[in-house]
Structures are given as C-alpha cells and as structure tokens.
Amino acid sequence: MEFWTSHTAAPTKAAAAAQQAQALGWDGIGTVDSQNLSGDPYVFLALAATGASALGLQTAVTNPVTRHAAVTASSALSVQRVSGGRMRLGIGRGDSALAHLGRAPARLRWFENYLIALQAYLRGEEMPLDQTSIPEEAAPHVASLALAHAPEESAIRWAASAPKVPVEVAATGPKVIALAARHADRTMFALGTNPNRIAWGIDTARAAATAAGRDPEGLRFGAYVNVACHRDPQVARTLSRTGTSLFARFSVMHGDIAGPVDEAQASMLQAIHANYDMTQHAQAGSDQADALTDEFIDDFAIAGDVDHCVSRLSALAALGVDKFAVVGPNFTADDAEAREAGERFARQVIPALRR
C-alpha cells in the first residue's frame, strides 16, 4: 500500500519538502501542472529528487493539451534519469491548466490518442510522423524544406537509458475509466471515498479491460482521497472543505453525475457544478467550498480522528486500492492546526494501515 502527499510546484521549496516527506514516511510526492497558477512541475520534481533519496515523484496531474506527448515524455524521462527510476506520470484530461487558457478538458478521442503516443514515446518506440498531431497551420511538414535527409518517424532515442515511466490516469467518468483500463499502468480514481463509488469505478475498469482483451486481474487501482485527521470532526471538516469542493467537481464536470449517488449527494454535486468559480480554484473561502454541507463532506471526504481515518481507508484498500494520493492539510501548511493534522496522518494513520 502506497501513500503519496502533494505540494505546489514551487521549485525553491522542492528539495526541503521532499526531504521532509520522506522523513515522515510518505512513499511519494505529487505536484500540480497548472502553468498559470503554479511553477513548472518537472523542475519541481527534478529538484525534489535531489532532496530525498527514495521518495517517489509524480505529476498530479498533467494534461494532454499544453505539452506535446513527446515533450511530456522527455520531461518525465529526464526526472526518471535524475531520480534513478522514481518518476511516475500522472495525467488527466485537464482542468485549471486549460481553464486559464479559455479551454475545457480535452476531448476523449484526443486524450486516448495522446495516451497511446505517450506510452510509445516512453517505451522508446517510433511514432509515424503523420500521427504527431501538429496542425498544418502551426508548422508545415518537414518535407517542405527539401532536406537531403530528414527523420522518417518520431521517437525519443535516449528513452532506453532510463526505466519505463509508469503512466497513471486520473479518472472519474466511465469513459475515462475505460480509457485508463485500456492504456494506463494504474487507474487513479477521483471519485471521493465512498466505497460504493470506488467499487463502481473498479467494476467499470475491469469490464472495459475485458472488452479490450486486457486481463482485468492485471489492473492496478489508486484513489485521490481528501483527508483531514483531527479529533474534532468539525475542525476536520473545515480543514478538508477546500480540497473536497475541488475534487467533488470532477464528478459533475459537465453537469452529468458520474458514479452512484443518493438524492442528497446528487443535489450537492449539482450545486457545486452551478456555483464553481474557477477564479477561486483551490482557494479557502471560495463559493464552492462554503456551499458544502457537513453530510456531503463526511461522505465524499474523510474527516475525523485517527481511528476514523484508518477505518475508512481500510475499507477502500479491501476493494483493491493499493495507492492513496492524499489531498488535504499536510506538513507544509501555513496554518498550525492544518500542519498538525497532516503530521498526525503521517505519523499515526499510515503506520496503522501498514501493520
């Protein structure tokens, strides 16, 4: 069972954050890829690799639009080489990175073609030039230069010098879950922490793998989980409120709700969809965060004391989840109570789950 924490892509803090995360017992650290709101994730991860000798490193998550697949693969392979094989590439359809460029998440066909190309580049395989997805209006074909010799295919020639970087797809809706089941090394559910919703995600992935001729027993599953560990449930809810509103939105991104919900949960998700303010994305006190009810937080997130956190996460592990990307207060928080909650999770919850 793996436990991963997160950090903003602040390069000047990367080495120290990685060192502290490793000392607290975390297996890895992920960082966002949202160019208008944060620094470059690959710079952060490369510097984090110098601060910790064993900590896993991951984009959490990148997207298939703001970087060409060859560029993403090259950046990931660079961190892989620097870290001695500790890089994982987390990718989704895109959210704030695209919204701040005036775009919605990537179209499904584009995302799937991107994943196919990305995996090929990471394996050092050749891609036909007509499948590199660069539009003619951006740059004409290399043949227009009338060179004596030109590349006949696209490949990262030095990819074999580092171990293959695993690709993990962040998924919420059934179509993206199915896409991940076909092409990813692990499916990372962004479905909340309700066991019924995670079980639905696993069943959806296994059915898609079977339909695609892939062994469903070979699939690996993880989950993004909003957690705040505090003995006072109300304080815990407050600490988890911002992150919960952010991740809950993925379940109703385009208005339709993904996964099983009851009437109250459906109503709350629709309210999040109607009130989400991207200019307040991931900010405390946002309209979407303040709109959450205690009941919704208790269902979608994990807000409570050590025993409560251990019990809720154990239920997800029993379903087959072997990686938890923990979102919420952590050891880097400015607020003292939030920082203590993050350290409590690392020092008490993680060891209890590993017994």
The model's pLDDT over 132-147, given as tens digits with 9 standing for 90+, comes to: 999 999 999 999 999 9
Same domain for 161 and 206?
no
The answer to whether position 20 is within a domain reads no
Is the confidence at residue 156, as pLDDT, over 90? yes
What pLDDT, in 10s, does the model give residues 232-287?
A: 999 999 999 999 999 999 999 999 999 999 999 999 999 999 989 999 888 888 88
Same domain for 3 and 124?
yes
Phi and psi at residue 346, to the nearest 5°: -65, -40
The answer to whether position 199 is within a domain reads yes
* Tokens at 178, concatenated: 């199915």
Same domain for 187 and 225?
yes
Here the CATH number for the domain that contains residue 293 is: 3.20.20.30
Same domain for 325 and 226?
yes
Q: Is the Cβ–Cβ distance between 294 and 237 less than 8 Å?
A: yes
The answer to whether position 90 is within a domain reads yes
Same domain for 330 and 190?
yes
Q: How many domains does the chain have?
A: 2
Same domain for 54 and 38?
yes
Same domain for 315 and 184?
yes
Domain that residue 88 falls in: 1-15+26-136+155-165
What per-residue confidence (pLDDT) applies to 2? 98
DSSP E strands: which ranges in the chain? 2-7, 28-31, 56-62, 87-91, 127-128, 153-154, 167-171, 186-189, 221-229, 302-304, 321-327
| Predicted model pTM | 0.96
Other Cβ atoms less than 10 A from the Cβ of 256: the count is 10
What per-residue confidence (pLDDT) applies to 284? 82
The answer to whether position 143 is within a domain reads no
The answer to whether position 277 is within a domain reads yes
Residue by residue, DSSP assigns 184-195 as: -SEEEE-S-S-H
